Structure 1
Amino acid sequence: MSRTLEPGDHIYCKRVEGLYDHHGIYVGDYMVIHLQGKAKKSKPLPPCQKCGNKRVINGEIAKVCVDCFLDGENLKVYDYGVSFWEFTFRRSGTCSTRHSKPPYEVIRIATAFLHDEISASEYNFLFNNCEDFAVTCKTGNKGSVQVLSYLTAGAVCSAAAIVCPVTGLALAGHYVASKFLRR
């Protein structure tokens, strides 16, 4: 990471060998509020010594330490207010042309979600995921560019495969390679 982490930052890290990214809001004191996916671990692990997190993902908004959030991956900061051209040429799900709310408001919104003062929909990979949560806290508008890019690429490759199977396969291969090579 090239800059100092600040409270109110939208942070993310790779998951599943870079297949997707996990997003959250850094709220200060080495803590992150994020929307966790459904349970994936077969047995509970001992609670984290720093934050008490039981490290069993359960599909709700949680506050954990940065180490538990990262789960061994590298921390990255999502950028807001980037130019259209930067947004177009950067990897999906790393930046937004929208401007962020002030840090104190971002933290207030994330904390309100955590304490059920703002109702959050149940976790859904396509329609209500961790990136949607973080973008909502930062801008007030839901949006998962990462999921949208996967859906768009899938639609383009499917259409190309109908017209010409070889072209469709080539497009799919190019898309997958570009996602992993641009990380």
Structure 2
Amino acid sequence: MGVVERESLKPGDHIYSWRLAYAYSHHGIYVDKGNVIHFTRGEGQEIGTGTGLDHIIGSSVPQHPLDNPCPICGDESRSDGVISSCVDCFLSGGDLYRYEYGVTPAVFFAKARGGTCTLASSESEEQVIDRAFYFLRKGFGVYDVLKNNCEDFALCCKTGLQVIPTVNVGQSGQAASFQAAAGVILYVPLAFLARSSPLGYAGTSVVGLAASYGKYCVNRYINDIGVRQDVTRVVLEEQK
């Protein structure tokens, strides 16, 4: 799905916007009247990843000066944790996209980049918004770029599911993509070692890259919240 118009948004939609020339995306739940609840690390617009990219991202994302907060959501535009802000602060100059739920495996694999869709189904609008406001009050734990990020937050709001915290990667599609892509990246220098034989290089590069891409797709699939088994259903304290 391409860029969507703000007027088409409905309460409970999982939305996202790309950052740093499509290097990663920031996710949140649209609630109503132009408000978005999202999980951030740093100052509001998801500035920071918890990695060495922080100094690049921090300098590339528009920010409100300390003496000039957002006229719509005020100081919330500079807070961290789970926050509520206006769509403009959420987008931080980027385009608006809607995350897709209940896609078929064919659609899932057709989208080579993770973090845009899931095989899992969304629960009702009321349940999604209820969870988003609950986490706004109670928090969503400590931000972790691989285990507990903004996409994990939005997926939990939409499905009511959360990956068991002892695993290496949460339910975030983009985190799974980054991890799976590492296998493809590591393969490239190995292919060059086969250059002693032109036929060996050609055969190794084609077959090896195809195998690496296949592994990438499989890793994305098995980490999707819609198929993995290492998940637990979140029970809000008010529901106990």
1:132: which partner in 2? 152
Amino acid at match of 2:32: G
Q: Distance in 1 between matches of 2:153 and 2:160?
A: 10
Match of 2:126 among 83, 104, 115: 104
Structure 1, residues 89-147: CA drift from partner, whole Å, max 9, x if none?
Answer: 1131111110001011000001000011xx52211111110000000100122310111
Secondary structure (helix, strand or coil) at the match of 1:51 reads: coil
Q: Distance in 2 between matches of 1:36 and 1:19?
A: 17
Q: Distance in 1 between matches of 2:127 and 2:146?
A: 26
Superposed CA RMSD in Å reads 2.5
Match of 2:177 among 149, 159, 176: 149
State whether residues 77 and 85 of structure 2, in contact with CA within 8 Å, keep that contact through their aligned partners in structure 1.
Answer: no
State whether residues 45 and 54 of structure 1, in contact with CA within 8 Å, keep that contact through their aligned partners in structure 2.
Answer: no
Q: CA deviation at 1:52?
A: 1.3
Structure 1, residues 37-73: CA drift from partner, whole Å, max 9, x if none?
Answer: 2345696352111111453353x00000111100111
Q: Alignment identity in percent? A: 40
Secondary structure (helix, strand or coil) at the match of 2:130 reads: helix
Q: CA deviation at 1:161?
A: 4.2
Q: Any stretches of 5+ residues in structure 1 without a counterpart?
A: 176-183
Bigger-Rg structure (1/2) = 2
TM-score by length of 2: 0.63
Secondary structure (helix, strand or coil) at the match of 1:55 reads: helix
State whether residues 35 and 133 of structure 1, in contact with CA within 8 Å, keep that contact through their aligned partners in structure 2.
Answer: yes
2:68: which partner in 1? 46
Structure 1, residues 3-22: CA drift from partner, whole Å, max 9, x if none?
Answer: 81000000000111110010
Q: Distance in 2 between matches of 1:22 and 1:79?
A: 15
1:68: which partner in 2? 89
Q: Distance in 1 between matches of 2:190 and 2:66?
A: 49
Amino acid at match of 1:72: G
Q: Any stretches of 5+ residues in structure 2 without a counterpart?
A: 48-57, 60-64, 163-170, 194-204, 214-240
Q: Distance in 2 between matches of 1:4 and 1:103?
A: 15
Q: How many residues align?
A: 167
**Which has the larger displacement, 105-114 or 86-95?**
86-95
Match of 1:32 among 12, 36, 39: 36
**Which has the larger displacement, 75-84 or 44-53?**
44-53
Q: Distance in 2 between matches of 1:141 and 1:103?
A: 15
Larger helix share, 1 or 2 = 2
Q: Which runs of 4+ in 1 moved over 3 A?
A: 39-43
Secondary structure (helix, strand or coil) at the match of 1:11 reads: strand
Q: CA deviation at 1:29?
A: 1.1
TM-score by length of 1: 0.82
Secondary structure (helix, strand or coil) at the match of 1:25 reads: strand
